[in-house]
Homo-oligomer: A and B are copies of this chain.
Amino acid sequence: MNLRYYLPTRVIAGKGCIVANAPLLAKLGGRALVMTGKASAKKNGSERDVIAALESQGIAYSLFDGVEPNPDVANCRAAAALARMFKADFIVGVGGGSPLDAAKAAALLARNDLSDAEVFRNDYRNAALPVVAVPTTAGTGSEVTQYAILTNDSIESKSSISWEGCFPVLAFLDSAYTATLSHRTAVNTALDALSHAVEGYLAVKSDGWSRALAYEAMRAFGKTLPRLADGFYGGDLRAELLLAANMAGAVIAQTATTIVHAMGYSLTYFKNIDHGRANGLLLAPYLDFVVAANPEGVREVLAAVGCRDLEAFDDLLGDLLGERETISPDEIRRFTAIALKTKHVGNTARSPEESDIKSLYAKGLRPL
Contacts and interface: CB of A to CB of B under 8 A. Distances in A.
A212 B247 contact: yes
B1 A209 contact: no
A125 B144 CA distance: 29
Contacts of A240: 1
Interface stretch (A50-58, A107-115, A214-222): A214-222
B7 A3 contact: no
B10 A14 contact: no
A175 interface: yes
Contacts of A215: 212, 215-216
Contact of A4 (B4, B10, B15, B212): B10
A267 interface: no
A10 B5 contact: yes
A41 interface: no
A213 interface: yes
Nearest to A208: B243
In the complex, which of the residues A10, A215, A216, A220 has the most CB atoms of chain B within 10 Å of its own CB atom? Answer: A216
Contacts of A209: 11, 213, 247
Given A212-B213, A247-B208, A3 B173 contact: yes
A12 B6 CA distance: 9
Contacts of A216: 208, 211-212, 215-216
Contacts of A220: 208
In the assembly, how many copies of this chain are there? 2
A40 to B, nearest CB: 21
A73 interface: no
Interface in A5-34: 5-8, 10-15, 17
A14 B207 CA distance: 11
Interface string A237-280: 00110111001000000000000000000000000000000000
A101 B12 CA distance: 27
A13 B2 contact: yes
A11 B4 CA distance: 6
Nearest to A3: B13
A1 B235 CA distance: 10
A240 B4 CA distance: 15
A251 B211 CA distance: 15
A243 B1 contact: yes
Contacts of A14: 1-3
A4 B215 CA distance: 19
Contacts of A6: 10-11
A15 B6 CA distance: 19
In the complex, which of the residues A173, A242, A243 has the most CB atoms of chain B within 10 Å of its own CB atom? Answer: A243
A170 to B, nearest CB: 10
The 7 lowest CB-CB distance pairs between A and B, nearest first, are: A212-B216, A2-B14, A3-B13, A1-B239, A5-B11, A6-B10, A208-B243
Interface of A: 1-8, 10-15, 17, 173, 175, 207-209, 211-213, 215-217, 220, 239-240, 242-244, 247
18 contacts: A2-B13, A2-B15, A3-B11, A3-B12, A3-B13, A3-B14, A4-B12, A4-B13, A5-B10, A6-B11, A8-B8, A11-B209, A208-B216, A208-B244, A209-B213, A209-B247, A211-B216, A213-B213
Given A4-B10, A4-B11, A215-B216, 11 more contacts: A1-B14, A1-B243, A2-B13, A2-B15, A3-B13, A4-B12, A5-B11, A7-B7, A212-B213, A213-B213, A215-B215
